[in-house]
Structure 1
Amino acid sequence: MYIAALLARTEDGWQASDTELDDVETLSDLVELAREGSVDDDTVLVFIEQEDAWFGVVRVEDLEEPRIYVSDAAAAARSSYGEILTNELLGGDGDDLSADLDSLDLDGTEDGESEPAAPDGESDGLDDDTADGPGSKAATAGPVGDRQILADLGMSEKELLELDGDALSEIADALGVAEILEAVR
């Protein structure tokens, strides 16, 4: 289950709205959705969270390129909306990244392959932080993107990286919009 919210900054503060992602298939669709929620081309934040497995923040300002942060790229890349964000961050075209991730077992081996045994004291050549091992463009486990995405709004990089559980509520609290967000949830 996804939780998605849109926060738009106005002259009078922030406006929050629950947002439907049904028609979002690309990052462009998501940015367009954010810009539609913008008041006077000011800052808009789109939050997407999936069952405490990962969350993403997309920041859209005026006509600038969107800024993106994803808390766990490997988890996000396995979900439809997270894949949109991780493809943008990791330079995948969608099909290659999905195929790479789909062909893996949870232990990081390809379907049908057994994991090679590494001699004592030697690495098996797989990077523990990636879904497919070294040299792959697949999503890494852990955060990717702009870690300063909320710094000027009251949440430091350190605070963003420490988020766990209901990240959306914690971010809203740090921005001073928790009550507004809860009203639309």
Structure 2
Amino acid sequence: MSETELDNVETLADLADLAREAAQDDESVLVFIEQEDAWFAVLRVDGEEDPRIFVSDGAAAARSSYGSILTDELLDRVGDADFDDLDSLVTDLDDEDADQNAEDDDEDEAAGATGPGGVPVGPLGDPELLIEFGLPAEGLLDLSGEGAMPGDALSEIADAIGCGEVLEAVR
């Protein structure tokens, strides 16, 4: 992991190409993005496969240039997959969580919990992208919860997967 120059990144493909350039052999590359303690994202690039993305707060991310690259891609994937709604982007973890999420979704819909372009407020993307590194989906979702500070969350994620010192070195 290293700090990478992002000045010429305009698309997800540009970002994925930068990550692939940083890869040794065909190892996975993780890209951590944080915007002023408003949101964070983790992008995982495995060889030539499509990048996997997790964003802590889709609506907040959609308001920034790098975040909108990620949220636009996630929303395009939903459109391409013919999903009925955006809730399909984050998987329910078990029946109890599903029931609670349904209640929360009803409350969010009533409150109009979407941001620019109808991007949902809250976690968006693949919460399972770090399982192979030792961080379960539940852990990633917990770090994205209400009141969580994105900078602290990224530090906890990096510590959990064994690269905390490297992250702190590039901050």
TM range (shorter): 0.7 to 0.9
Per-residue CA deviations over 1:100-152 (Å, capped at 9, x if unaligned) read xxxxxxxxxxxxxxxxxxxxxxx9x86522237xxxx6200001100101112
Q: CA RMSD in A?
A: 1.9
Per-residue CA deviations over 1:31-62 (Å, capped at 9, x if unaligned) read 00000000002100011001111011110001
Q: Which of 117, 126, 139 does residue 159 from structure 1 map onto? A: 139
- Equivalent residue, structure 1, for 2:80: none
How is 1:110-125 mapped onto 2 (pairs within 5 angstroms)? none
* Higher share of residues assigned strand: 1
Give every structure 1 segment of 4 or more consecutive aligned residues whose post-TM-superposition deviation is greater than 2 Å.
Answer: 125-128
Per-residue CA deviations over 1:64-118 (Å, capped at 9, x if unaligned) read 11101111000000000000000000129xxxxxxxxxxxxxxxxxxxxxxxxxx
- For residues 141 and 4 of structure 2, what CA distance do their matches in structure 1 show? 25
Say if 2:2 and 2:170, in contact at 8 Å, map to a contact too: yes
- Equivalent residue, structure 1, for 2:32: 47
Q: Which of 47, 55, 75 does residue 70 from structure 1 map onto? A: 55
Say if 2:12 and 2:73, in contact at 8 Å, map to a contact too: yes
1:81 aligns with 2:66: yes
Say if 2:62 and 2:115, in contact at 8 Å, map to a contact too: no
Say if 2:54 and 2:123, in contact at 8 Å, map to a contact too: yes
Identity of aligned residues (%): 59
- For residues 184 and 78 of structure 1, what CA distance do their matches in structure 2 show? 24
Higher-RCO chain (CA-CA 8 Å, sequence separation at least 6): 2
Paired residues, number: 135
- For residues 115 and 9 of structure 2, what CA distance do their matches in structure 1 show? 25
Say which one has the larger Rg. Answer: 1
Q: Determine helix, strand or coil for the equivalent of 2:41.
A: strand
* Higher share of residues assigned helix: 2
Which segments of 5 or more consecutive residues in structure 1 lack a partner in the other structure? Answer: 1-15, 93-122
Q: State TM-score, norm by structure 1.
A: 0.68
Q: State TM-score, norm by structure 2.
A: 0.73
Q: Determine helix, strand or coil for the equivalent of 1:17.
A: coil
